[in-house]
Amino acid sequence: MAHYVMGDIHGEADRFHAMLNKIQFSQDDILILLGDVIDRGPDGIALLMEIMEMPNVIMLLGNHEYMMLQYLSPSAAGTEIRRWNKNGNAPTLAAYLKQKAKVQQRILGYLRGLPTHIELEVNGKRFYLVHGFPGENVHDEVWTRPTIESLNPIPDCRLIIGHTKVLNLIQPEEKRIDYAIKLEDNGEHLKMLHTQGYINLDCACGYDMPIKALACIRLEDMVEFYM
Ligand SMILES: [Mn+2]
């Protein structure tokens, strides 16, 4: 039995399934998803419906699921409509609207019940997992971005996050394209980022970027997997 953590999937079901296969994920294992299962890639709703049926998967709320809930709330404000529209919602919204009302309600109920963080202990090591960064409320935990220098505010545990693309943390904006081209030329992809304060798993899955990867880490031995 092992604990696996995966970063932002953003609608890439093929990569998700290939990763499950690669880690030989079984019913005895536990998988924690750091949120942002939906948007950008094509399969967000199909992925959500699959994950909802997996009893050994713990999903955390990402800012994209949070945006979806706000957008689909009867009292959604104009800014909430525009925000999700600007953030790659098209494939998710189209697939959601094709579902029967009952299924739509099940999806929203599932998303409303998602925690924003989880603390767990594996082999005597403590972990705090969250989509954005530890914070005081839902908004802060799903939206906050660290810098490369940010330290872990939660004592005595390793912090594992998603949300902020590794590339954006390790390169200033004007150097990102050159860096990405160099990685691609070398046949490499983005890897998770280990800083003094946290481990970031967001390797740009779901983006139109040749160097993207879906990242996964096994908490027992901190072995990393990429797909
Ligand atoms: Mn994301």
Nearest one of 37, 156, 163 to 107, comparing CA atoms:
37
pLDDT tens profile 12-45: 999 999 999 999 999 999 999 999 999 999 999 9
- Fold (topology level) of 3-226: Purple Acid Phosphatase; chain A, domain 2 (3.60.21)
CA 64 to centroid of ligand 1, rounded, Å: 7
CA 10 to centroid of ligand 1, rounded, Å: 7
Mean pLDDT calculated for residue range 138-148: 98
CA 19 to centroid of ligand 1, rounded, Å: 18
* pLDDT given for residue 2 in this prediction: 98
Parse the chain into domains and list their residue ranges: 3-226
Asked if residue 159 lies in contact with residue 88, where contact means CB atoms within 8 angstroms, the answer is no
CA 47 to centroid of ligand 1, rounded, Å: 15
pLDDT tens profile 53-83: 999 999 999 999 999 999 999 999 999 999 9
Phi, psi angles (nearest 5°) of residue 56: -105, 25
* pLDDT given for residue 34 in this prediction: 98
For helices 78-85 and 63-71, what crossing angle results, to 10°? 130
CA 11 to centroid of ligand 1, rounded, Å: 10
Identify residues whose C-beta is under 5 A from ligand 1, the ion.
8, 36
